[in-house]
């Protein structure tokens, strides 16, 4: 089904910037055509070459980072991962970190000129670790947001599978109502903004979720669990992270997905890595954006970090 392109995606920036007493940065969408016919989409913020690159989690999109980018005040590159936002869906349903990372690395080589502070949330964090391990020349420092390899995601699919039993709506207000009924999105205003960025209007007038995971939620989380499961045959899921030569920081939300055992395993495996705990849920970039912006600024200011 064809969809209508919505060109007003930066409509919220002026109010967000005003609330923070921050100047509105230059913002534009960019697109890279990939060799297999798919397209990868991203947002460019600020003047000059990007210094920070950000990757969102499953079922989200580039705009989850808007407040972080505003607070950071540095040129930034923010991806829509494959199957999300304005990036193409994969017909093979392969949304593993390795497949996502291959796209990201190709685009970073095209769109960045210096090694990046690479920040990844959840699935985006596992993707970022793969990029940093296989393309060290692209990454100055790696920040993982509320994710470590081997994290048990079995609790998430049950709720999300129920939520995505309905994948299209008569209006965006209906989608907002459903999201709030599942406890998603915080205030109604926050939920409206999230729904706006995560939906599109089809030619028949129905509103549908942009990300492919809404259509294949079972397959998507099965793939993520397979990528994370420490007991799975094949390579250790920690191999990517252990191969990273750039400095690593783990950010844990106090109300997020990480458990004490996950953090203990991270510390055991990577004793030289940094840890930051913030009062936030799993989506730290939305509930504690200042913490991530301050962390990125500190890394940029101190080259040895």
pLDDT for residue 304 = 58
Q: Which long-range contacts (CB under 8 A, 24 or more apart) does 33-40 make?
A: 34/88, 34/103, 34/106, 38/82, 38/87, 38/88, 38/90, 38/103, 39/86, 39/87, 39/88, 40/79, 40/80, 40/82, 40/87, 40/88, 40/103, 40/104, 40/106, 40/107
* Full residue range of the structural domain in which residue 80 is found: 3-301
Beta bridge partners of 169: 207
* Number of structural domains the chain divides into: 1
Q: For 60-108, how does the pLDDT look when each residue is reduced to its tens digit (9 = 90+)? A: 999 999 999 999 999 999 999 999 999 999 999 999 999 999 999 999 9
Rounded to whole angstroms, how far apart are CA atoms 133 and 240? 6
The CA–CA distances, whole Å, from 203 to 21, 34, 41, 245 equal 39, 26, 22, 48
Q: Which of 146, 212, 240, 262 is catalytic?
A: 146
Helices (H), 21-61: none
Q: Which of 56, 135, 282, 291 is catalytic?
A: 282
Q: For 201-242, how does the pLDDT look when each residue is reduced to its tens digit (9 = 90+)? A: 999 999 999 999 888 874 455 555 554 554 445 678 999 999
pLDDT for residue 3 = 46
Q: Residue 56 belongs to a domain with what CATH number?
A: 3.40.50.1820
pTM: 0.89
Assess whether 282 carries a catalytic annotation.
yes
Assess whether 154 carries a catalytic annotation.
no
Pairing verdict, β 52-55 and 39-45: unpaired
- Asked if residue 92 lies in contact with residue 22, where contact means CB atoms within 8 angstroms, the answer is no
């Amino acid at each position: 089904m064809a969809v209508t392109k919505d060109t007003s995606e930066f409509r919220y920036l002026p109010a967000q910037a005003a609330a923070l007493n921050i100047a509105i940065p230059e913002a534009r969408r960019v697109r890279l055509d990939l060799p297999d016919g798919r397209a990868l989409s991203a947002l460019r913020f600020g003047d000059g070459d990007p210094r920070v690159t950000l990757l969102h989690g499953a079922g989200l999109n580039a705009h989850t980072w808007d407040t972080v980018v505003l607070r950071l005040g540095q040129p930034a590159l923010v991806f829509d991962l494959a199957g999300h936002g304005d990036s193409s869906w994969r017909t093979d349903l392969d949304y593993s970190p390795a497949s996502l990372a291959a796209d990201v690395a190709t685009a970073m080589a095209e769109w960045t000129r210096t090694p990046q502070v690479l920040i990844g949330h959840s699935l985006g964090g596992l993707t970022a670790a793969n990029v940093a391990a296989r393309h060290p020349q692209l990454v100055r420092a790696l920040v993982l947001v509320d994710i470590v390899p081997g994290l048990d995601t079995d609790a998430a699919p049950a709720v999300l599978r129920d939520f995505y039993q309905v994948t299209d709506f008569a209006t965006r207000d209906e989608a907002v109502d459903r999201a709030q009924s599942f406890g998603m999105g915080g205030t109604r205003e926050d939920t409206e903004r999230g729904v706006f960025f995560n939906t599109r209007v089809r030619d028949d007038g129905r509103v549908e979720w942009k990300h492919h995971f809404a259509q294949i939620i079972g397959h998507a989380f099965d793939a993520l669990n397979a990528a994370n499961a420490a007991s799975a045959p094949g390579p250790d899921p920690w191999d990517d992270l252990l191969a990273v030569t750039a400095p690593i920081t783990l950010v844990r939300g106090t109300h997020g997905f990480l458990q004490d055992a996950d953090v203990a395993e991270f510390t055991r495996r990577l004793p030289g890595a940094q840890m930051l705990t913030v009062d936030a849920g799993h989506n730290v970039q939305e509930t504690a954006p200042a913490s991530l912006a301050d962390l990125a600024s500190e890394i940029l200011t101190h080259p040895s970090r």
